[in-house]
Amino acid sequence: MLHLPTGETALWITHLPPEVTTQRGFAEVLQSYRLEPELGEIDLLLRNSRRAPLVEYSEQVEKTKKFLLQYPSVSFLGYWDPKYPAKLRNIHTPPWGLYVLGDLSQFETALGIVGTRRPNAYGIEAVRQLVAGIKVRPLRIISGLAMGIDSEAHASANLCGIPNTAVLGSGLAEVYPRTRFVLMEEILKTKGSVVSEFSPFTPAYPSNFPRRNRIISGLSDAVLIVQGTKKSGTLHTARYALEQGRCVCVLPGDIFSDLSYVPHKLLREGAFPVVSAQDLDECLDSAKSQLSLELI
């Protein structure tokens, strides 16, 4: 049984940058105690297990605490917080906490949309029409704020007045790419949110993006894959979705285009083809029913 710490020790643990110490490491530390451990005991345990001691990161912890005081609109949801998204609790290696800007209330139905950073006109228009045509309500769109399909998914949701959530691969103080600030503002205006598991001043390291993809799929009932080449990170999101028991649906593509590699590979493996907004509605209805049973 996981006994959660309180007080000053909890501040150190919850605000420690997740990229520094593995989530599995935190689980091992916390689960090894029946009562709240002292900070020094955690430090000793991490040293003995050859993990970086917490005290080395006290400066980063202080910067995070000051950031949260300076920007009260940003909230921190620890794993045990009642407002922590229920869908994330059941995934493998859930984030121990989320930094949230905007509204991340418990939403009913969520569709993740991800794809290539360099879509063609077909992919862009497909996202626009599919999002505009979805009838399932209430609905939230989840994506990663990256250039290309991700940004198009957010923009299309904003245009249709659909709340949407952007999951970052960096901290909230280091939004990447910088050109997405205007899009972020529009997301927040539609009662959406911007979230990150990384401490506010974490840069956009390349290794962060595959890791954040598990949150995109974890927050979703179903994930729509729109275009992706052989080397696309989009496949990571699809794999996470399958691992988490989410419905994976794909937009079939041009057989002569490299952008069709990921969708067609997933179709061969049994993914649900989407050729209309009605297909998405059916996929969401089915996925939501299945996920609701799993969460009971």
Q: What is the CATH number of the domain that holds 210?
A: 3.40.50.450
pLDDT class for 77, splitting at 50, 70, 90?
A: confident
Question: Same domain, yes or no, for 52 and 177?
Answer: no
CA gap 24, 124 in Å, rounded: 38
Dump pLDDT digits (tens) for 226-283. Answer: 999 998 889 999 999 999 999 999 999 999 999 999 999 999 999 999 999 999 999 9
The predicted model scores a pTM of 0.82
Average pLDDT over residues 65-69: 81
90 or 85, which is more confident = 85
Question: Same domain, yes or no, for 53 and 117?
Answer: no
DSSP characters over the chain = --PPP-HHHHHHHHHS-TTTS-HHHHHHHHHT-SSPPPHHHHHHHHHHTT---GGGGHHHHHHHHHHHHH-TTEEEEETTSTTS-HHHHTSSS--SEEEEEE-----SEEEEEEE-SS--HHHHHHHHHHHHH---SSEEEEE---TTHHHHHHHHHHHTT--EEEEPSS-TTS-SSGGGHHHHHHHHHTT-EEEESS-TT----TTHHHHHHHHHHHT-SEEEEE---TT-THHHHHHHHHHTT-EEEE----TT-GGGHHHHHHHHTTPEE-SSHHHHHHHHHHHHHHHHHHH-
For residue 281, the one-letter residue type is D
Q: Assess if residue 281 is contained within a domain.
A: yes
Question: Same domain, yes or no, for 126 and 43?
Answer: no
pLDDT class for 28, splitting at 50, 70, 90?
A: low
For residue 291, the one-letter residue type is L
pLDDT of residue 40: 52
Q: Assess if residue 94 is contained within a domain.
A: no
Dump pLDDT digits (tens) for 178-203. Answer: 888 899 999 999 999 999 988 888 89
Dump pLDDT digits (tens) for 142-157. Answer: 999 999 999 999 999 9
Q: Assess if residue 88 is contained within a domain.
A: no
Question: Same domain, yes or no, for 36 and 179?
Answer: no
Question: Same domain, yes or no, for 59 and 110?
Answer: no
Question: Same domain, yes or no, for 187 and 50?
Answer: no
Domain range for 179: 102-295
Question: Same domain, yes or no, for 145 and 261?
Answer: yes
Inform me whether the pLDDT recorded for 212 exceeds 90: yes
Percent residues over pLDDT 70 in the chain: 76
pLDDT of residue 47: 54
pLDDT of residue 290: 67
Q: Residue 143 corresponds to which tokens in the numbers above?
A: 């994506």
pLDDT of residue 89: 84
pLDDT class for 19, splitting at 50, 70, 90?
A: very low
pLDDT class for 21, splitting at 50, 70, 90?
A: very low
Which of 21, 51, 69 is the C-terminal boundary of a domain?
A: 69
Q: Assess if residue 251 is contained within a domain.
A: yes
Question: Same domain, yes or no, for 127 and 193?
Answer: yes
Question: Same domain, yes or no, for 236 and 183?
Answer: yes
Inform me whether the pLDDT recorded for 177 exceeds 60: yes
Q: Do residues 94 and 18 touch, judged by C-beta distance below 8 A?
A: no
Inform me whether the pLDDT recorded for 43 exceeds 70: no
pLDDT of residue 60: 63
183 or 34, which is more confident = 183
Q: Assess if residue 221 is contained within a domain.
A: yes
Question: Same domain, yes or no, for 140 and 18?
Answer: no
Q: Assess if residue 97 is contained within a domain.
A: no
Structural domain count, the chain: 2
Q: Assess if residue 120 is contained within a domain.
A: yes
Which of 69, 91, 118 is the C-terminal boundary of a domain?
A: 69
Please identify which residue in the block is written with the tokens 């794999």: 239
Question: Same domain, yes or no, for 65 and 107?
Answer: no
Question: Same domain, yes or no, for 212 and 270?
Answer: yes
90 or 46, which is more confident = 90
Average pLDDT over residues 44-52: 52
CA gap 13, 24 in Å, rounded: 13
Cβ-proximal residues to 3 (8 Å cutoff; 6+ apart), any chain: 30, 33, 34, 35, 36
CA gap 172, 158 in Å, rounded: 20
For residue 155, the one-letter residue type is A
